[in-house]
Amino acid sequence: MFVKIWQALVSGLSVGSIYALIAQGYYVTYITTGALNFGQGEFLMIGALFGVTCYITLGLPYAIAVVAAVVLLSAMGAGLERIAIRTTLRHALSLSWVLSTVAVSIIVRNAAVQIWGPEQVKFPSPFGDKVLRIGEAGIFPQELFIIFGSIGTVLLVQFFLKRAVLGKALTAVAYNRRAAAVMGIDVQRMVVLAFVLSSALAGLGGVLIAPITFAWAYMGTVPGIKAFAAAIIGGLENPIGILIGGLAVGVLEQFFGIINSNLKEGITFLFVLLILAVRPTGLMGRKEIEKV
């Protein structure tokens, strides 16, 4: 039993760190615009499939495939902002962006089916598939790479936001748009930057995760939504909360997977509903006091 739990923890962390990576993307756009990309999972899928094209079809090195996917997704992020966000943010129905990003995700998924076909593609890990042993539990080198890569990237994003001037400007826009504009910061450009960053993270998530799952056009939706749930559980405006939320969701699923594989699929959603009933802004979210 102990071995099972240990194993679940290890696998949970690797899946969870991907959730955390995607969710970090939600965080960046949410704090700057109040909106997020509901097609983040589809962007992850594009990252994975484009990785396949680069790494397998074209035979490029894995590192190049990673960079290529990130670049492609950055461009897609800028496009998404232009098409689905800028056009809808001023609408009376405050959640129009939900549907507009969903619409983009539908189109993206259909395009993926046409380009790469509907089949699952195997993406062999560049680190081989020799199982490493951590105590009694086994872990693939790719999983280890995912954990370190994702958490490292999340920390890097935080470092960017806290230390780089551009990051500070982005943080300023997030905190107070009006004051930022008065400082001479081009708010619109920062919003584009936020979506570029967010999409790049999804693309990175895709090339990281593809070797331990399969790459195919329908791989993204569920991780995208679960990462959203993780962000909500942690609290959308709290990056640390999101990181913990992502890892927690990953581990939680694996634990419930021990009990019953059907429970594993639904537990995250049940969990997020229970949490929202008690804490409407997530476990570590800011408690809003409406100013009257």
Partner 1 sequence: MRLPVFANTGPRDWARFAAAAIVILALPLVLHDPFFVLVMQSLAYLFIVSLGLDILVGWTGQISLGHAGLYAIGAYTSALLATRAGWPFWVSAPLGVAVAGVAGALLAIPSLRAKGPYLAMVTLAFGFMMEVTTNRWQSLTNGPMGVSAIPAPTLPGGEEMTPTQYFWLIAGVALLCQLLANNLLGSRVGRTLLALRGSEIAAQSVGVNVYRWKVLAFVISSVYAGLGGVFFAHQNGFINSDTFVFALSVSFLTSVLMGGSGTLYGPLVGSVILNLIPTVFARLHDYHLYIYGGIILVTIIFLPDGIVGSVLKLPVVRRWRRPPPRIEPEPGGLALSQAQNNREPVIEARNVTRDFGGIRALDRVNIAVQPGVVHGLIGPNGSGKSTFVNVLTGLYPPSGGEILLGGRVLGRVRPHQMAKLGVTRTFQSIRLFGGLSVLDHVMVGFHLHLRAGVWQHLLQTAAAVHEEEQFRRKAMTLLQFVGIADRAHEIASNLPYGQQRLLEIARALAVRPRLLLLDEPAAGVNPTEIQRLVKIIRDIRDAGVTQVVIEHHMELIMGISDVVSVLDFGEKIAQGTTAEVQRDPKVIEAYLGTGLETAHA
Partner 2 sequence: MLEVRGLRVDYGHVQALRGIDLEAREREITAIIGSNGAGKTSTLMAVSGLAPIAGGEVRLNGEAITRTPAHRVTALGISQILEGRQLFADQSVEDNLLLGAYSRLRGNRARVAELMEREMDRFPILRKRRRQLAGTLSGGEQQMLAIARGLMSEPKLILMDEPSMGLAPLVVLEIARTIRALRDEGVTIVLVEQMATVALELADRAYVLENGRVTLSGPAREVAQNPEVKRAYLGA
Q: Which residues bind partner 1 (CB under 8 A)?
A: 26, 30, 34, 36, 83-84, 87-88, 91-96, 98-100, 102-107, 109-111, 114, 221, 225, 228-229, 232, 236, 262, 265-266, 268-270, 272-274, 276-277, 280-282, 288-290, 292
User: Taking CB within 5 to 8 Å according to partner kind, which of partner 2, partner 1, none is near residue 169?
Assistant: partner 2
Taking the least distance from each CB to partner 2, the nearer of 169 and 249 is 169
Q: Which is nearer to partner 2, 22 or 185 (CB)?
A: 185
Which H helix or E strand runs over 15? helix 2-33
Residue 215 DSSP label = B
78 binds, among partner 1, partner 2, none (CB under 5 to 8 A by kind): none
List of residues 6+ apart from 109 with CB closer than 8 A: 42, 45, 217, 218, 220, 221
> How far does Cα 58 stand from its chain's mean position?
26
* Residue 152 interaction partner, one of partner 2, partner 1, none, beta carbon < 5-8 Å per kind: none
Three-state secondary structure call for residue 165 = helix
As a whole number of angstroms, the distance between CA 115 and CA 157 comes to 32
Q: Can you tell me which of 181, 258, 263, 276 binds partner 2, judged by CB under 8 A?
A: 181
Closest distance of CB 36 from partner 1, Å: 6
Examine residue 183 and tell whether it contacts partner 2 (CB under 8 A). yes
Looking from the CA of 38 toward its CB, the CA atoms found within 13 Å total 15
Classified as helix, coil or strand, 61 is: coil
Binding of residue 159 to partner 2 (CB under 8 A): no
Nearer to partner 1, 34 or 128 (CB): 34
Residue 33 in tokens:
């615009």
Cα separation, 65 vs 56, whole angstroms: 9
Spatial separation of the C-alpha atoms in residues 57 and 227, rounded to whole Å: 29
DSSP state of 121: B
Q: Closer CB to partner 2, residue 183 or residue 240?
A: 183
Work out whether the CA dihedral 147, 152, 155, 161 comes out positive or negative.
negative
Smallest distance, partner 1 to C-beta of residue 277, A:
4
Cβ of residue 27: shortest distance to partner 1, in angstroms?
11
180 near partner 2, rule: CB under 8 A: yes
Q: How far is the CB of 222 from partner 1 (least distance, A)?
A: 8
277 binds partner 2 per the rule CB under 8 A: no
Interface with partner 2 includes 175 (CB under 8 A)?
Answer: yes
Q: What is the closest distance, in whole angstroms, from the C-beta atom of residue 6 to partner 1 in the complex?
A: 26
Minimum CB separation of residue 233 from partner 1 in Å reads: 9
**Which residues make Cβ contacts (< 8 Å) with residue 213, sequence separation at least 6?**
219
Q: Is the separation of the CB atoms in 27 and 195 below 8 Å?
A: no
Among positive and negative, which fits the CA dihedral 134, 139, 143, 145?
positive
CB of 217 to partner 2, least distance (A): 40
Residue list 16-45, contact with partner 2 (CB under 8 A): none
Among 4, 86, 168, 264, binds partner 2 (CB under 8 A): 168
Indicate which of partner 2, partner 1, none lies near residue 183 (CB less than 5 to 8 Å, by partner kind).
partner 2
In degrees and rounded to multiples of 5, residue 273 shows phi and psi of: -65, -45
